[in-house]
Amino acid sequence: MFATLSDRLSDAFKNLRGKGRLSEADIDATAREIRIALLEADVALPVVKDFVAAVKERARGEEVSQALNPAQQVVKIVNEELVEILGGETRRLRYAKSGPTVIMLAGLQGAGKTTLAAKLALWLKEQGRTPLLVAADLQRPNAVNQLQVNGERAGVPVFAPEPGNGVGDPVEVARQSLEEAKRKLYDTVIVDTAGRLGVDADMMAQAAAIRDAVRPDEILFVVDAMIGQDAVVTAQAFLDGVGYDGVVLTKLDGDARGGAALSIASLTGKPVMFASAGEKVTDFDMFHPDRMASRILD
Ligand code: GDP
């Protein structure tokens, strides 16, 4: 991801190299190239506009620096603006002060929720927590089984409805999982919910009902970075329909152009908190805006 954007941005900066002072024309030309680079990376137009305007304004007003030449100053400005649109500071999980912390996952089918649930569980386990995975995705016939397989890989127990005993209500499963967590002293409950292929009123209503039943400490919206501009539309629909505290980007190992990562935090006002980059249970980490910006400008 970001390979093309990285290349295009470094080309844009190349033209500034060796210049002692930046003229208005230099700044305009560079701004134009940054604009094209971002648009080609699928960044949403309003985000691109704001970004370029901010870079231009700051480049014009930049004080003469002893330490950095003009080209380096522009790179520094772009870096800081990238960090800003990626959500600023790293946003860490908030844990409940007492009782189990409840983390609910929401997103479209295929976004990578079930895979992510296990990755997050393993990551939490490595932080010394005792997570419980909850199979509240009863829409897809195989989802419960898939979570059980992934849970096993992560070495984390899965709370699921017993097959055939009539527990087909995901809201009830989620509610019962909290009781189980309190009884057995799990300190973090990760609730996997059902998605559909597209934004759907029933899906939103079910996710909202689960939310109301378990009152999550964190709701994470899981989105496939490969879906490009659609990610932003879906993100807004989930914000309106369910609400969430943070975003998880999945499939960053693919050849996505990065637009989703760069647009979502800025347009929804919700930070990207985690990134998932592979099918293995360990391909997962916190999302650090500053590190991502540095990677783009590397
Ligand atoms: P869900 O419907 O939201 O629960 O999505 P799944 O967890 O079932 O994931 C859908 C597909 O995407 C599966 O084939 C996963 O193996 C795959 N997948 C999930 N996360 C990643 C990722 O970060 N990278 C890649 N390459 N594949 C992923």
| Residue 39 and residue 48 in contact, taking contact as beta carbons nearer than 8 Å | yes
- Token look-up 């959500």 returns 87
Q: What is the pLDDT of residue 113?
A: 95
Q: What is the pLDDT of residue 289?
A: 94
Q: What is the distance between the alpha carbons of residues 22 and 58, in angstroms, rounded to a whole number?
A: 12
- Token look-up 């990376």 returns 41
* Beta bridge mates, 72: none
Reported ipTM: 0.98
Q: What is the pLDDT of residue 260?
A: 83
Q: Is 119 in the pocket of ligand 1 (CB under 6 A)?
A: no
Low-confidence ranges of the chain (pLDDT < 70): 63-66, 163-167
Q: Is 279 in the pocket of ligand 1 (CB under 6 A)?
A: yes
**CB proximity list for 268: less than 8 A, separation 6 or greater:** 232, 235, 236, 239, 247
**DSSP assignment, residue 226?**
G
Burial class (CB in 10 A: 0-12, 13-18, 19+), 118: buried
- For residue 193, how far is its CA from the centre of ligand 1 (angstroms)? 14
Q: Which of 279, 283, 284 to mutate to test the pocket of ligand 1 (most atoms within 8 A of CB)?
A: 279
Q: What is the distance between the alpha carbons of residues 7 and 26, in angstroms, rounded to a whole number?
A: 19
Q: What is the pLDDT of residue 65?
A: 66
Q: What is the pLDDT of residue 117?
A: 96
